[in-house]
Amino acid sequence: MSSAGEKRIRLKDIAKMAGVDLSLVSRVVNHNAEGEVSEEKRKKIEQIIRETGYVPSSAARSLVTRKTRQLMFIFSDNTLQGLANEYYGGMLHGFSDACSAHKYNCLLNILDCSNISEFVLPENLKNYSVDGCVIAGFANHPLITHLDRHLHPVVMIEPCLSYENIPMVNRKENLDISGLLDYIRKKGFRHVWLSEGLYQPSLAEIKDIRIEGIDDYKRDVEEVAEFFVEKIASLSRENRPDLVICRGHIALHLLRILKKNGLRCPDDIALMSTSNFEANRFCSPALSLVAQDSREMGRYAGELLFRICEGKISREDAILEARQHIFPITITEREST
């Protein structure tokens, strides 16, 4: 390995040591050797790189490739505590896995993506300083169009939105909730309030179960929980839901407020969380869970973004693939059902 006092190793030095053309070394260093460099030569070049401690200049490489090898994960400001929210923290973890697998740097930012009139693109995102980004959480359409223009390509993770020109991961229209319906029938539930993130219009056609979608995506979770309990209390017993399935923070608040209003869980109303929070296991009663693997969502979104950036898949094909990709739902039964 070269010390501070020694001459800096350059690509042409490695090419000379390996006895190969400079262009081959460049392809190996820039992870663009597939189909262009033999396995034997690639291994020889990589060995010399390790032995010499060669570190490519990121600035120089960016000038040549017009890529920074940096991908950004953006939390929309409505994601409820961002990294403190285990659901979105899992997404970031999966996205980081994908970046590491392909030797990209993983960057993180939190932006208010709800209002374009007040939005200012941060300096570190201007001038294409990242190759692309994944956005998790709600963002309005004009703002997404604006970000896509400046940060192309963009991949979104959000179940309740749909943009025709952007790859959307985890669209609720593509969820396979047949297992959830089987569970509901097995437990004998007949009237269900279902999270907006899982509700599909076709559920209204089911004859043996009354399923209503509920808006549980507002930011003030305690206010939403209070509203649900007030609505439940105003209904006659035969018109009340016997099962409520909602987002994790709301489920935790709802459990507390139900008790406060003299309603027992699960005797009066059963409850399930759609967020795999550790706190679910330590409630009284412990909350049952219907959820997806958020880490796998983040990993898949990162892989899709990588393939777009590398030209391995077109934007149009990425949109179609994301629409068809299914993330399985798992059910964990606990005391609340």
For residue 245, which phi and psi values (nearest 5 degrees)?
-115, 115
264's CB contacts (< 8 A; 6+ apart) are 258
CB within 8 Å of 61: residues ≥ 6 apart: 29, 30, 67, 69
The pLDDT assigned to 306 comes to 94
- At residue 294's C-alpha, the angle toward residues 281 and 276, to 5°, is 10
CB 94 within 8 A of CB 132: no
Provide CB contacts within 8 A for 2, sequence distance 6+.
Answer: 8, 9, 52, 53
Lowest model confidence (mean pLDDT) among 141-145, 178-182, 294-298: 141-145
Task: Check pLDDT > 50 for residue 108.
Answer: yes
CA distances, 276 to each of 4, 253, 282, 289 (Å):
49, 15, 12, 7
Q: Measured between alpha carbons, how far is 30 from 102 in angstroms, rounded to an integer?
A: 11
Give pLDDT tens digits for 239-255.
999 999 988 888 888 89
Helices (H), 78-140: 86-101
pLDDT, tens only, 202-241: 888 899 999 999 887 665 777 888 888 888 888 888 899 9
52-56, 153-157, 167-171, 308-312: which has the minimum mean pLDDT?
A: 52-56
Torsion 278-282-287-288 (CA) sign? positive
Residue 5 structure tokens: 């006092």
- The amino acid that residue 209 corresponds to is I
**Percent helix, strand, coil in the chain (nearest 5)?**
45, 15, 40
Question: What pLDDT shows up at residue 267?
Answer: 93
Per-residue pLDDT tens over the stretch 286-327: 999 998 888 999 999 999 999 999 889 998 999 999 988 988
Residue partners of 150: CB distance under 8 A and separation at least 6: 121, 125, 126, 128
What pLDDT is recorded for position 151? 63
**Residue-wise pLDDT tens digits, 15-39:** 888 888 888 887 787 666 666 778 8
User: Which of 309, 305, 246 has its CA nearest to residue 280?
Assistant: 246
Domains of the chain: 11-65 (1.10.260.40), 70-171+295-327 (3.40.50.2300), 176-291 (3.40.50.2300)
One-letter identity of residue 280: N
For 263-283, how does the pLDDT look when each residue is reduced to its tens digit (9 = 90+)? 899 999 999 998 888 888 998
Average pLDDT, the chain: 81
Q: Which of 326, 297, 303 is nearest to 132 (CA)?
A: 303
